Amino acid sequence: MKLKRLLAEFLVIFAVSWVIEFAYMGIKGVFEGTTLSLLEISLSFDNAVMNAVILAGMSQLWRRRFLTWGMVIAVFGMRFLFPVLIVAVTAGLPVTKVVELAFKEPEKYAHHLEHAEPLILAFGGAFLLMVFINWLFDAGKELFWIRKLEEMASKAAKMGEVKLIIALSVIFTVGYLKREPNIILALILGILLFEVVHFIKGAIEYFKEHGGAVDAGLGSFIYLELLDASCSLDGTVGAFAISKNLIIITVGLSVGAFILRTLTLYFVESGKLKELPYLEHGAHWGIGGLGIMMLLELFIHIPEPVISSVALLFILSSLYSSVKRTEPMLKE
């Protein structure tokens, strides 16, 4: 996949979205939709790198499904259906009534979604934190970027269940400070879902290795979609600060999601990942930062630009370190 062709595809996608947004809300819709697309890209760029690392070990078939099936899940499932289900559960309303609210009374719908935000933050923050600490506390890690911290974490992983200690400590600390059963339950569900997905992924790979008919790519696909879902939670809720129109929000966030997925495939198929050994490290640190900030948002407001800047800083720093490491090798 050539870079020029990739940029041309991005421009076409933006142009199509601008036509839809203009037809629906005029110039205001185009402005809000474009802002949301850029917000999605900046908030989830670290997720694109993470996805690329996982996709590199998947077959061409599952890579295509990531861009086709995965986009349907990302657009309809996470950017539209998931917020509707959250509002339905927390507000005690039928799903059909919530959909009606979303289209006819977007202000009221946004109010219900904002009311459910603490549960979303607790669930998503716990899941992303588990992604980070599962990578950080890896006893078999050989390549280190932030050397002292990562080496210490790797050594600590050899001593015992550090990940379990951290997970339980997070539940206890947040639960003690918030004293809200629903938030504690959301934290537990986030951690539980991470462990269940890893179990399913491991089970699929086990049966595949032992002559089973299950495709090993399925486990990685499920993990990728849940990772994308968790990374997009904050942006989905925060989108209502930019627009109250569900169509504009869905189109804007979907354009950002499509660009990120296409960029993910570019990273894999162009072989850029092999030239950038620390990029995976930067992505995981960015994911960890996002998870921690989602949990902190249960207590204090953190502006969206700050959240995206932290993740971007880790990515750019790891990119710089990767270039410094590989440049001398390429010259030899």
pLDDT digits (tens, 9 = 90+) for 212-254: 555 667 777 887 888 777 777 666 766 766 777 778 888 888 8
Q: What percent of the chain has pLDDT over 90?
A: 15
Cα 330 to Cα 332: distance, rounded to the nearest angstrom: 6
- pLDDT value of residue 193: 86
Task: With 0.95 as the threshold, say if the pTM is over it.
Answer: no
117, 229 contact by CB (below 8 A): no
Q: What percent of the chain has pLDDT over 70?
A: 90
- pLDDT value of residue 329: 47
Quick one: average pLDDT of 97-116? 84
In this structure, is residue 150 part of a structural domain?
Answer: yes
In this structure, is residue 101 part of a structural domain?
Answer: yes
Better-scored residue on pLDDT, 1 or 30: 30
- Kindly report, residue by residue over 278-330, the tens digit of the pLDDT: 888 888 898 888 889 989 999 998 887 787 788 778 888 988 888 887 765 44
Report CA-CA distances (Å) from 273 to 51, 140, 143, 268, 276.
11, 20, 14, 7, 5
Cα 220 to Cα 202: distance, rounded to the nearest angstrom: 9
Per-residue pLDDT band for 172 (boundaries 50, 70, 90) equals very high
Token pair, residue 293, equals 């900030």
298, 251 contact by CB (below 8 A): no
In this structure, is residue 76 part of a structural domain?
Answer: yes
Most confidently modeled range among 41-45, 64-68, 162-166: 162-166
Site of tokens 């992604």: 131
Nearest alpha-carbon partner for 135 in 74, 225, 54:
54
Most confidently modeled range among 174-178, 222-226, 275-279, 328-332: 174-178
- pLDDT value of residue 171: 93
Per-residue pLDDT band for 188 (boundaries 50, 70, 90) equals very high
- pLDDT value of residue 133: 92
- pLDDT value of residue 330: 45
Cα 5 to Cα 262: distance, rounded to the nearest angstrom: 11
Which range is least confidently modeled, 2-11, 141-150, 209-218, 255-264?
209-218
Could you list the residue range(s) of the whole structural domain that residue 75 is in? 3-293+303-331
Taking 90 as the threshold, does the pLDDT of residue 173 lie above it? yes
Taking 70 as the threshold, does the pLDDT of residue 208 lie above it? no
Token pair, residue 258, equals 């499509």
Which range is least confidently modeled, 93-97, 201-205, 286-290?
201-205
In this structure, is residue 272 part of a structural domain?
Answer: yes
In this structure, is residue 91 part of a structural domain?
Answer: yes
1, 67 contact by CB (below 8 A): no
Mean pLDDT of the chain: 82
Better-scored residue on pLDDT, 157 or 106: 157
Taking 50 as the threshold, does the pLDDT of residue 165 lie above it? yes
In this structure, is residue 114 part of a structural domain?
Answer: yes
What's the structural domain count of the chain? 1
Burial of 156 (0-12, 13-18, 19+ CB in 10 A): middle
DSSP states along 28-70:
HHHHHHHHHHHHHHHHHHHHHHHHHHHHTTS-HHHHHHHHTHH
Cα pseudo-dihedral 44, 107, 299, 296, rounded to 10: 0
Tell me the residue type at 177.
L
In this structure, is residue 162 part of a structural domain?
Answer: yes
In this structure, is residue 298 part of a structural domain?
Answer: no
